[in-house]
Structure 1
Amino acid sequence: GDQSGRGMRKRPRQNPGPACQQCRLRKLRCDRQTPCNGCLDAGVECNVDPTPPQRGPKKGHLKALRSRIGRPSRPPGTQRESTCFLHGGSPLEHQADTWDRKRDQLYFDRIHAFVPAIHHRRYLQRSRVALPTPSHRCLQYAMWTMASAMSSQFHHLRDSLYRGTLDLLHALDDARPTTAGTAATTDNDDEASLLAQAQAWILVAVYEFVQLPSSFRRAWASVGRAIRLVQLLRLSEMDAGDDHDAAVLDFTTPYNGDTDVDVCIEREERRRTFWVAFCLDRFASALSGLPLTLGELISTRLPCPEPAFQSATSVVMPLLSEIMETTDMDAEPRALSAPSSPWVECIVFCTLWGRALSHQQRSKLEHFHGPVAVAFRERQVRLDELLTSRMRLFQQRYAPGAVKSDPMLLFTNLVAQATVLSLCK
């Protein structure tokens, strides 16, 4: 039995000892002879290295990789540093830049129509610098968060980008101001930073309202952060004291990075940021039943039409108070002659929505003190007349097909219907 067991033992696949260098290079099985049969048949010298190179990664390399993966410096999908470390080159860094550009374009394709506060080319110009400012980085992440939420390609990144946006915004709050630069330069830098932060908080609030409906308190707090920054910048008083000519946006030439044109575009961005916050305040109040934060004592002109904004074209816009004076049929031709746009229509109906919400809140207090007052009936009739007049103007300006095809007009129509329901309560 012992002899048969020995006979059944399998012979090793190869003889002991290292393979020769030639067989290693040609990926052949070496018979470990000196010289081996492979080298004899090929007529080459057979050399054997008694200390072949060690296989596998170098000592400590895997540990370094694991520690780097465990501590990402940027949210997933934007880790330029780690991709360069792993691959030792720039192809994946270029791919990360491509993803950033795709998210930028997704934002302007799908989100900008509802939050039209940012100038496309000016944003791209600031984004392509080697070291964007921390406040602009916050705005970028907020825009990418919204773009990812509306994209099947980047949808899985929305939560990590959202958390990254909050981390960057809170880091700005914790940062201390530096003493470098003159006082004027520091003030200008602070205002630009606060504007970008306000825009970022607006986008964060919109994301939380839409994507995190169970976190209403968080969204409400984000709206408050944005509105306080808007108030701190006094964006509701931008055109106070300006005459009609001074309010003209000096967009006489196409945008090419010129400083004067850039300043005018920034002023329009500030106007638009205020009006986005104004509409968002009405939306948040409708959801919460709490009083409005931003009133109608506004000396900032309405935003110019979107094509004029993006192409840097001169447009004179009226004040909200001038538009809201239209309350009867005799005044309608004047209202029709005023410059308008889908967003201006939205602002007008958001204003009426806010008035209806305030009317409800005041009526509750009046009912608490006694029977329905005469002031309540007068406000109700005045709001109903103004709403009817504005809806008639809206229908004259925009055909049903145009309303269905334009997202801002469609949203405006929903706001108008919500205002009607508010008055019926």
Structure 2
Amino acid sequence: MSSGCSDLLYFERVHPFAPMVHKRRYYAWASDPNASPARTALRSAMRTIASAMSPQFCDIGHVMYASTRRMLETQDACPETGLPWMTRLKPPHEQRKMHHERIQAWLLLAYYDVLRKSEHQAFITARRAFRLLRLSGLCEMDIDAYSGRQGDVATCTPPAETTWNMQMCSSENGADEAVLQQDWISVEERRRTVWSAFLLDRLSTMVNDQPTMLMEEAFYTRLPMSETEFQSGTQEPVSQMGFLIEATDGNKAANSIQPLPPFAHCVVVANLFARCMTHCKMAMQSPPMSAPEAHDFWIRHQWLASAAANACETTETRCDPMLVFTRILAYSASLSLCSTANATSWQTLDHHLMAMACKPAAHQAASEVVRIIKTAPRIAFFKMHPFFPNAIALVTSFLNADVPYLPSTRGGHAVDTIQERQDALNELLAALRRSSQVNNLAAELLCKLELDIGQAASDGSVSQFDQGDGSWT
């Protein structure tokens, strides 16, 4: 596969779920044989994961992956980052600048591991990226602006970001250093690197209850701006984004950043999903709950359910894989909350009834996911986020395990009959089957779900699974 073809494939299929590279800037240095080691590794990582996103070029990705990993490991062994177990950089006079391209390269390799290797290997690789992120100080790049917002939103001014950029930004060409130091596009690339790492960490909770490794309280970085504005490369950014805490917890200041661009919205919803996973773990730690614990549970539960419902109300754009995945993720959060409430032992009838009341919203969410899958173009499955199969598997497991819901007369589109549930399972399995062409995780989940559904059928379901064409009859 030629370098030009790799780059085109990257921006067509990888960039939609990891939009952290400025396209025009990349092409300006991509053909430079004297690019810095960090950029060389990033270029190699971009072409490596691009090969994984195409069935025709999957085989050559293993060689490219090994080469890219050697580059990054060599750079990590350099003295500027110290020994692997160190958590602080050396003093400024003893270290070179941390290149955000290195972090980007490690993140792309982690996604390659999700697509082509194993979940365990992906977590190991992701930890390399997270460590460099903490060492770089990028998570606090807008801390001065954040502090100004706490008193009065209007007091927040851009100069604090410029100050940070002058400290952290590095240049390939000394003559252009003054220009690059005040370049907002470079600042936005770093922000997007931060949030790409955060998104990977939060979505990892979908796999085997993996705990998060990055604390949201430590992120003092503005949310990413819209993709159109980022790629336009105008002299000055039009919008000034807010912070995660504002968008997540519904502070008054959040009104100034609504509606969120697709990437920022995905970050917020992924953080909400991770909170739902934490909520589930807390509920399962010591059942049955005491009365005070149950009270705290339902306060958290109702807040999360309301936030998930609001996240599902965003405008759907079929052409944007990020928006499609985000909406499915929001519906998956609703399903998770329902499963958590119904899997918990309750001491009172009121609490049991409250748990049962969660089911209508959960079945409605499952129905909406199936509708999205039905209407999504086939090419969209090659551009979906690598963790897309996990969200689909969660919905599939819910429908397979739960009894059909009989809605009230006002119930509209809920999955309410056995036949509709079977049709929904077929659609979800077909989505996994299409994704499995470029995603090993999808193939593994498909195999597991087919076995689970087949077992459910043999245990007394009226349905029968046809292994021949992968459908229910």
Q: 1:235 aligns with which of 109, 114, 138?
A: 138
Q: 1:197 aligns with which of 99, 102, 107?
A: 102
Deviation at 1:319, TM superposition (A): 0.8
List runs of 5+ in structure 1 lacking aligned partners.
Answer: 1-76, 78-98, 251-256
Where in structure 2 are the equivalents of 1:26-425 lying within 5 Å? 99-176=2-79, 187=95, 189-192=96-99, 195-212=100-117, 215-242=118-145, 243=148, 244-246=156-158, 259-260=179-180, 263-297=183-217, 298-312=219-233, 313-326=237-250, 335=255, 338-367=258-287, 371-372=289-290, 374-392=292-310, 394-395=312-313, 397-399=314-316, 402=317, 404-424=318-338, 425=340
Query: Contact 1:282/1:292 (CA < 8 Å) preserved in 2?
Result: yes
Query: Contact 1:356/1:419 (CA < 8 Å) preserved in 2?
Result: yes
Larger radius of gyration: 1
Runs of 4+ in structure 1 off by over 6 angstroms are 183-186, 247-250
Distance 1:386 1:216, change over 3 A: closer
Q: Hey, what's the Cα distance between the residues in 1 that align with 2:191 and 2:225?
A: 9
Q: Hey, what's the Cα distance between the residues in 2 that align with 1:337 and 1:133?
A: 36
Over the residues paired in the alignment, what is the CA RMSD in angstroms?
Answer: 2.9
Distance 1:262 1:411, change over 3 A: farther
Deviation at 1:269, TM superposition (A): 1.3
Q: Hey, what's the Cα distance between the residues in 2 that align with 1:295 and 1:259?
A: 33
Query: Contact 1:191/1:233 (CA < 8 Å) preserved in 2?
Result: yes
CA deviation digits over 1:14-35, x for unaligned, max 9? xxxxxxxxxxxxxxxxxxxxxx
TM-score, normalization by structure 1: 0.64
Higher RCO (C-alpha under 8 Å, 6+ residues apart): 2
Q: 2:35 is aligned with what amino acid? A: P
Deviation at 1:387, TM superposition (A): 3.8
Query: Contact 2:265/2:326 (CA < 8 Å) preserved in 1?
Result: yes
Q: Hey, what's the Cα distance between the residues in 1 that align with 2:92 and 2:127?
A: 28
Distance 1:308 1:277, change over 3 A: same
Q: Hey, what's the Cα distance between the residues in 2 that align with 1:274 and 1:287?
A: 21
Q: Hey, what's the Cα distance between the residues in 1 that align with 2:94 and 2:47?
A: 28
CA deviation digits over 1:146-176, x for unaligned, max 9? 1111234533321111111112112223345
Q: 2:105 is aligned with what amino acid? A: A
Distance 1:198 1:138, change over 3 A: same
SS at match of 2:193: helix
Equivalent residue, structure 2, for 1:52 = none
Aligned length: 303
Q: 2:241 is aligned with what amino acid? A: M
Deviation at 1:363, TM superposition (A): 2.5
Q: 1:200 is aligned with what amino acid? A: A
Query: Contact 1:249/1:314 (CA < 8 Å) preserved in 2?
Result: no
Query: Contact 1:300/1:319 (CA < 8 Å) preserved in 2?
Result: yes
Q: Hey, what's the Cα distance between the residues in 1 that align with 2:80 and 2:241?
A: 37
Query: Contact 1:318/1:339 (CA < 8 Å) preserved in 2?
Result: no
Q: 1:374 is aligned with what amino acid? A: P
Query: Contact 2:311/2:330 (CA < 8 Å) preserved in 1?
Result: no
Q: 1:324 is aligned with what amino acid? A: T
Deviation at 1:261, TM superposition (A): 7.4
Equivalent residue, structure 2, for 1:69 = none
Distance 1:393 1:134, change over 3 A: closer
Query: Contact 1:142/1:203 (CA < 8 Å) preserved in 2?
Result: yes
Q: Hey, what's the Cα distance between the residues in 2 that align with 1:186 and 1:127?
A: 30
Equivalent residue, structure 2, for 1:51 = none
Q: Hey, what's the Cα distance between the residues in 1 that align with 2:143 and 2:188?
A: 15
Deviation at 1:117, TM superposition (A): 1.0
List runs of 5+ in structure 2 lacking aligned partners.
Answer: 82-90, 149-155, 163-175, 341-473
Distance 1:176 1:411, change over 3 A: same
